[in-house]
Structure 1
Amino acid sequence: MRHVNVLLAGGASRRFGEPKAFVNWRNKMFYEWAKTALGDKKPVIISHPELIKRFQAYGEKNVFQDVEPFQGLGPLAGIYTAFEKTDGDVYTVLSCDTPLIKRSTLLALRNGLNERTDAVVPVSEGREQPLMAVYHKRISSFLYEQLSQKRLKISDFLHQLSVCYVDAEEIGAKPEEFMNINTRCDYQQMDEQY
């Protein structure tokens, strides 16, 4: 199966105050931490139109904005765009604001996908983590329909799929890997603890 790594970096980052993809932590930008976890020098990056040139200035080639007519419709539009812009079967999806996620965690999730499973989603401390997950492209038509109806809740989408929910501890993932950095306060907490 053809594998594609997808980095979602299209959020407005209103609560943080600047584009989180380019926030520096421990001498690397958040999006570089995500690339390391994905283990791919050339992931597909889905971003906001205003940030595309900035990514390209850092040497990124595969940077896209959401496809029409779904521009600005959030993470589901980003996943659908990755499906449309690339020729793959299995997609590891990661949001750029999770710099603590480990490559071993993403590989363990990818290994959980099989012919009967549409998605593999980790669960950490009782919370599903659908933006650090693996999806099969066969879900594309479901995704298109949901976006067309402007139903943007990821949980609603997952209920239509055959999802393998994986307990993070069972694959050796630590809770902090799933820390989502949304605010300066989150950043400070991460910086102090890790």
Structure 2
Amino acid sequence: MKHSHILLAGGKSSRFGQPKAFKNWNGILLYEWCKQALGGEQTYIVSHPSLVARFQERMEENIIVDLEPFSGKGPLAGIYTAMNLIESDYYTFLPCDTPLVEQRTIELLKREARGFDAVVPIADGRIHPLVSVIHHQAKDVVYKQLLGNQLRAVDLFQLLHTNYLEVECFGSKSWEFINVNVEEDLKELNKHVVQRFNLNDEE
């Protein structure tokens, strides 16, 4: 069973003031933190055309851009683009602004996706639809949502046979899903970076 890993990095980052993917946080770019969470396997990056050269400068090879006519229509466009261009059974998606997600959490979602169209984490009572695993058979549903200009990812998963997984019951932490929207959010990340590496004050 083929499983592909997709990093969503095509947003405008208008609130952040610069492309979030390339923000240096604790010596590593945000998108590189997320690649680590996806593991050592091949990762495809869905990005904006204006950012392709910057990724290539960092020796990234597997870069794709949103298919027309859906360019600029948010994460759902990136999800459809990946599902359309990459042949796979399952697709794991992770946005480039969630650097605290751990690899074991990604593996949990992949494992719990079997038998479902999709699996989406719930942490601290909140759904995180962009950190998801989706089966290839959901592609037509994504396409219809885009055609109808129904762009909220959370609405997509209501149309699918989705496993809403309360990840804290499996040992994951709610802070793994903190995402960066503004510079101030980096301070919140810093509160948890020690926990991210399972360290303690004595180490």
TM-score of the alignment, normalized to the shorter chain, above 0.5: yes
Kindly indicate whether the alpha-carbon contact (under 8 Å) linking 1:35 and 1:41 is maintained by their aligned counterparts in 2. Answer: no
Kindly indicate whether the alpha-carbon contact (under 8 Å) linking 1:42 and 1:60 is maintained by their aligned counterparts in 2. Answer: no
C-alpha displacement of 1:193: 4.5
- Match of residue 176 from structure 2: 177
Kindly indicate whether the alpha-carbon contact (under 8 Å) linking 1:71 and 1:77 is maintained by their aligned counterparts in 2. Answer: yes
Give the SS at the match of 1:182.
coil
What is the identity, as a one-letter code, of the residue corresponding to 2:134?
A: Y
What is the identity, as a one-letter code, of the residue corresponding to 1:8?
A: L
TM-score, normalised via structure 1 length: 0.96
What is the identity, as a one-letter code, of the residue corresponding to 1:75?
A: P
Distance between the aligned counterparts of 1:37 and 1:50, measured in 2?
25
- Match of residue 61 from structure 1: 61
Q: Deviations over 1:81-114 (max 9, x none)?
A: 1011111110110000000000000000100012
Kindly indicate whether the alpha-carbon contact (under 8 Å) linking 1:119 and 1:135 is maintained by their aligned counterparts in 2. Answer: yes
- Match of residue 200 from structure 2: none
Alpha carbons of structure 1 residues 109 and 41: separation in structure 2 relative to 1, 3 Å: closer
- Match of residue 19 from structure 1: 19
C-alpha displacement of 1:152: 0.4
Distance between the aligned counterparts of 1:103 and 1:192, measured in 2?
19
Alpha carbons of structure 1 residues 108 and 193: separation in structure 2 relative to 1, 3 Å: closer
Alpha carbons of structure 1 residues 20 and 59: separation in structure 2 relative to 1, 3 Å: same
Distance between the aligned counterparts of 1:47 and 1:40, measured in 2?
20
- Match of residue 72 from structure 1: 72
Output the aligned Cα RMSD: 1.1
Give the SS at the match of 1:184.
coil
Residue identity over aligned pairs, in percent, reads 44
Q: Deviations over 1:3-44 (max 9, x none)?
A: 100000011111111111011112110111011000135311
C-alpha displacement of 1:147: 0.3
- Match of residue 101 from structure 1: 101
Distance between the aligned counterparts of 2:88 and 2:120, measured in 1?
19
- Count of aligned pairs between the two proteins: 193
- Match of residue 158 from structure 1: 157
Distance between the aligned counterparts of 1:28 and 1:172, measured in 2?
26
Taking the TM superposition and a 5 Å limit, the aligned residue runs for 1:22-171 are: 22-115=22-115, 117-171=116-170
**Which runs of structure 1 show a deviation greater than 6 angstroms over 4 or more consecutive aligned residues?**
none
What is the identity, as a one-letter code, of the residue corresponding to 2:54?
A: R
Distance between the aligned counterparts of 1:146 and 1:189, measured in 2?
34
Distance between the aligned counterparts of 2:103 and 2:192, measured in 1?
20
Distance between the aligned counterparts of 1:42 and 1:168, measured in 2?
25
Alpha carbons of structure 1 residues 186 and 161: separation in structure 2 relative to 1, 3 Å: same
Structure 2: unaligned runs, 5 residues or longer: 194-203
Distance between the aligned counterparts of 1:27 and 1:185, measured in 2?
17
What is the identity, as a one-letter code, of the residue corresponding to 1:158?
A: F
TM-score, normalised via structure 2 length: 0.92
Distance between the aligned counterparts of 1:161 and 1:192, measured in 2?
36
